[in-house]
């Protein structure tokens, strides 16, 4: 995966989960990340490159935060509907 594709994936995931940069940065920092919040914000906006280790740590932080979100309602399939 290219650095740009990884950045776009991170931005998409953060937006879809409605996570703020501050929420993401706090978790990223707590698991060992070392860039500042404004650098993380710039990375998510595609204007500041991060080394691969930091990009992977951002992805890890995002995925952990997403896993902790309440599960969203899901649509059922026809064969999942129980008849009365």
| Chain segment 19-35, per-residue pLDDT in tens | 999 999 999 999 999 99
How is residue 82 written in tokens?
A: 């129980």
What was the pLDDT predicted at 9?
93
Helices (H) and strands (E) in the chain — how many of each?
Answer: 4, 0
Residue 37 CB neighbour total at 10 angstroms: 15
Measure the CA–CA gap between 56 and 73, rounded to whole angstroms. 29
| pLDDT digits 0-9 by tens, 12-70 | 999 989 999 999 999 999 999 999 999 999 999 999 999 999 999 999 999 999 988 88
Rounded to two decimals, the pTM is 0.82
Burial (0-12, 13-18, 19+ Cβ within 10 Å), 73: exposed
C-alpha span between 3 and 58 (Å, rounded): 12
């Amino acid at each position: 995966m290219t650095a740009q594709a990884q950045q776009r994936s991170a931005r998409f995931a953060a937006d879809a989960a409605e996570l703020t940069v501050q929420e993401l940065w706090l978790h990223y920092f707590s698991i060992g990340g070392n860039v500042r919040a404004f650098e993380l914000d710039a990375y998510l906006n595609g204007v500041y490159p991060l080394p691969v280790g930091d990009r992977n740590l951002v992805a890890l932080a995002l995925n952990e935060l997403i896993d902790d979100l309440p599960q969203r309602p899901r649509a059922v399939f026809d064969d999942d509907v129980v008849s009365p």
